[in-house]
Amino acid sequence: MNKNIFKLQEANDLLADIRSSIPLTRREFLQGSAVLTGTLALGTSLAMVSPSRVWAAQMSVLDDKQARMLLRLTQVIFPHKDMPEAINALAVKDLDKSAEDKAIAESFREGLAALDANASGDWLGASADEQLKAVESITDTGLFAAVKGQCITSLYDNELAYKHFGYEGESFSKGGYLQRGFNDLSWLPDPPYVASPAPR
Amino acid sequence: MTTFDKDDSSVIVVIGTGAGGGTLCNELAQKGIRVVGLEAGAQQSMNSYVNDEWKSFGQLAWLDKRTTSGSWRVAKDFAGLPAWICKTVGGTTTHWAGASLRLKDYEFRAKTEYGDIDGANLLDWPITLSELEPYYSRAEYKMGVTRTHGIPGLPGNNNFKIMYEGAKKLGYRNCHTGRMSVNSRARQGRTKCLQLGFCFQGCKTGAKWSTLYTEIPAAEATGNFELRTQSHVSRIEHDSSGKVNAVVYFDADGNEQRQQARAVCVAGNSIETPRLLQMSDSSLYPDGLANSSGQVGRNYMRHMTGSVFAAFEDPVHFYRGTTMAGIITDEARNDTRRGFVGGYELETLALGLPFMAAFINPGSWGEEFGYFMDNYTRLAGMWLVGEDMPRESNRITLNTDETDQYGMPVPNVHYDDHDNDIAMRNHAYQQGEQVYEAAGAVRTIRTPPFPSTHNLGTCRMSEDRSKGVCNGWGQTHDVSNLFISDGSQFTTGGAENPTLTIVTLAIRQADYIARQMLTDAL
């Protein structure tokens, strides 16, 4: 599974796909199948930089329940404080794309059915604790491996995630950090000159 | 640009253009020796490098198929990517962080100093530190290593401030911004470091030394050097007397080419170098070239490595600035009271958000992973790098079940941690955690080894020809005009980042080759 994150040709394709899905536009409603939608919370770092607070992600293979279960699954496997669901939706969109492969789609169906079976038939409706327990019982499934592997790139290698987690990304065009805070930490004393000379 | 005829048997062929090969090409060309440099990868530039971790990885990394085996964790986490090294002009000097440390005197005598260690194949180097010192000095001048030759140290970034505070509180005495081949001020036509924070992605300002924009253009300017990019060597040939006389390679279009040679220097990094010797077997050399000792591919070393990351209450932004300009050297000593032989260094390390997710604890999920990612802007980080034990069974072999894009068997990389490696890693983890706790860390995490960047030892130097592949000049014991010119030569690994030593050995090897040519020995 982890090998997947090093198949760079694929990772690059994936990046292109993620980027092309942002911003999420109205044209995406035109096709059939499931659509995940949401609204960015006011005042968050993402809402401030997004052209629109409303987002939508069109699926091509997954049905509505599958898409919603997968979205929740990405949140249970990689829990984050206050992370906008729009970022998780990027991962679901990538999973939807991989489900165009029939064998993968079948493994998703089996894994999601196992989740429901382990949560009294309604995993989405279960409590957070029950949801986590059900996920712990399916860690040997293809679904779990696929979601975990996909999320490593889908959740953390995109502009929305950079903004959310506070990573500033590309720096060359801004002249690096020499004048932009590479040594701005002020809650500890500065090391002596001999250990850390002043910038020239 | 100079070009040489493929039938010109007067040229020296250097395979690889990284720290060893790139330096050797230039050193030879400066002496008036004609050199053809064959580089498997494509040409990039400061302009084409990208400040984007995954995109850069796709641009620079060696992604040809490889397999793994053994009990090391990398085989589980990154089964198809045992090493994080580069396939591009400049080799892994595009990706390296710039830490430039000399090996220590005792590290050249590992067998004598450490004694017999069960399950380790220790050996003293056939050369000493004092023999290397003048060459180390030349390498440091060439590379512009800070804190040598009057070159000032780099300014510490936020990540370093935390390391320094913890080191001081813990009682460490030797903590500074390192000896780095990263310009602290403009030097020799290259700018000072602008603190981009993308050292691993190819330095877009050229402040970090790389053969790509130093050694290689300098070699080209002599008129004695031809660089052939996207030239993937598949075989070294020899004449009936057993001397090598030609190199066969696939060009950019996949067509097989054959360059005649007066001598061949192999610098493909410690996986490809022994692989190439093994693929060059013949009726005269049934076990591969230069392998009468049976040691080709064995004693693969990759350094004891690991990382510690720590979350703090307040902002750090550790991804800003020179990635590895920070070091604690107090643990780089042989003191068996710690429960292991050899020593290790603690060096600052930061990853961007995408690589943090991929590497903080590969395969993990849940609360801990979420916590450290949520606290990304409040993290500090360090890399632990120390001497690992050479073992005969840790080795590069040809995996004939799998082939690469040219139909050649892929290399398999087998590695089992030695108990000494494990004891050292645990000690280093504990010390790293204590450094951060002393500086006020809220929570720390032990990150397992990344795919290997320091690949060493698979064609090691030895006094006794039955115990290694080459002599103290990198000249193979079996074939007098075949040289090992990269980290594969290392008899043992030492605790230090190896690039400075690789460059030093290349400068020294060039002098030796020139002398051999003058006396017609070569």
Average the pLDDT over A166-189 and give the result.
Answer: 98
User: Minimal Cα distance from B315: which residue of A?
Assistant: A185
pLDDT at A23 over 90: no
For chain A, the farthest-separated pair of C-alpha atoms sits apart, in whole angstroms, at 66
What residues of A are in contact with residue B205 (Cβ under 8 Å)?
172, 176
Distance from CA of A193 to the nearest CA of B (A): 9
- Residue A185: list chain B partners with CB under 8 A: 158, 161-162, 314-317
What average pLDDT does chain B have?
Answer: 98
For residue B137, which of B124, B125, B150 has the smallest C-alpha distance? B150
The answer for A 47-106 residues in CB contact with B (under 8 A) is 77-81
pLDDT of residue B376 exceeding 60, the answer is yes
The mean per-residue pLDDT over the stretch A146-161 comes to: 96
Residues 142-161 of A with CB under 8 A from B: 148, 152-153, 155-157, 161
Alpha-carbon distances, residue B126 vs B472, B483, B484 (angstroms): 5, 16, 15
The shares of helix, strand and coil residues in chain B, as percent rounded to the nearest 5, are 30, 20, 50
CA angle B147, B151, B157 (to 5 degrees): 65
Is B164's CB within 8 Å of A195's CB? yes
Nearest residue to B18 via CA among B35, B39, B33: B39
Inter-chain CB proximity B176 and A195 less than 8 Å: yes
Cβ <8 Å between B152 and A200: yes
Q: Is residue A170 helix, strand or coil?
A: coil
Is B195 within 8 Å of A198 when comparing Cβ atoms?
no
Q: What ipTM goes with this model?
A: 0.94
What's the pLDDT score for residue B425?
98
Beta bridge partners of B86: B61
Residue of B151, B175, B195 for testing the chain A interface, max A β-carbons within 10 Å: B195
User: For B387-501, where are the E strands, in sequence order?
Assistant: 395-403, 409-414, 443-447, 482-484
Band the pLDDT of A46: cuts 50, 70, 90.
Answer: confident
Instruction: Kindly report, residue by residue over A104-130, the tens digit of the pLDDT.
Output: 999 999 999 999 999 999 999 999 999
Contact B63 A166 (CB under 8 A): no
Of the candidates B175, B316, B320, the beta carbon closest to that of A195 is on B175
Query: Residue B389: its pLDDT value, please?
Result: 98
Instruction: Kindly identify which residue of chain B lies nearest to residue A82, measuring between CA atoms.
Output: B374
Task: With a cut of 60, say whether residue A2 has pLDDT above it.
Answer: no
Query: How far off is chain A from B268, nearest CA to CA, in Å?
Result: 21
CA A39 to chain B, closest CA, distance in angstroms equals 21
Give the 3-state secondary structure of residue B190.
strand
pLDDT for A47 equals 75
Query: Which residues in chain A touch residue B53, judged by CB atoms under 8 angstroms apart?
Result: 157
Report the pLDDT value the prediction gives residue A126, as an integer from 0 to 100: 98
Cβ of B198 within 8 Å of Cβ of A12? The answer is no
- Fill in the amino acid letter for B428: A
pLDDT band at A19 (very low <50, low <70, confident <90, very high): very low
Which of B58, B319, B374 is the closest to A12 by Cβ? Answer: B58
Min mean pLDDT across A17-21, A152-156, B165-169, B475-479 is at A17-21
Q: What DSSP string runs through B291-334?
A: -TTS-TT-S-B--EEEEEEEE-SS---TTSS-TT--EE-TT-S-
Q: Please write the tens of the pLDDT for every residue from B291-330.
A: 999 999 999 999 999 999 999 999 999 999 999 999 999 9
Prediction pTM value: 0.94
Q: Provide the chain B residues 126-155 that lie in CB contact (below 8 A) with chain A.
A: 152-155
Q: What is the distance in angstroms between the Cα of B296 and the nearest Cα belonging to chain A?
A: 28
Q: How far apart are CA A33 and CA B109, in angstroms?
A: 69
A6 vs B78: CB contact, 8 Å cut-off? yes
User: What does the pLDDT look like over B447-466, one tens digit per residue?
Assistant: 999 999 999 999 999 999 99
What pLDDT score does A30 carry?
A: 42
